Amino acid sequence: MIKNPNNYRFCIRTFRGYECTDDMEEARQMAKKMIMDILTDKWSDEYWWARIIDNKSGSSQLWTCPEIGKWAFSRWLHLI
């Protein structure tokens, strides 16, 4: 069964798909795991990102891995 991202508080998206959860800490861990899967599959570093979308507030946060072992993230922003 496919998860409907609108039924969850957070949706974590990459260019390869999405995951959903109601827990913020779990959303962060999912974002990191999804980025690491992309990195492990040897995609270019331009794809080492995940967007956490808060369906309640409409804001989102971009997580990136600028280099292996380092994490960076944006402020919460209202993106289109």
Residue 21 lies in a domain: yes
Q: Looking at the domain assignment, is residue 35 inside a domain?
A: yes
Looking at the domain assignment, is residue 80 inside a domain?
no
Per-residue pLDDT of the chain (80 residues; tens, 9 = 90+): 566 777 899 999 999 999 999 999 999 999 999 999 999 999 999 999 999 999 999 999 999 998 888 999 999 998 76
Q: Does the residue 67 lie in any domain?
A: yes
Position 54: which residue type? D
* Cα-based distances in Å from 52 to 5, 42: 11, 22
Q: Specify if 78 maps to a domain.
A: no
The number of domains in the chain is 1
**What distance separates the 2 farthest-apart alpha carbons in the chain?**
35
Asked if 73 and 41 count as a contact pair (C-beta separation under 8 A), the reply is no
Nearest to 79 by CA among 59, 62, 57: 59
pLDDT at position 15 is 97
Q: Which domain holds residue 47?
A: 5-73
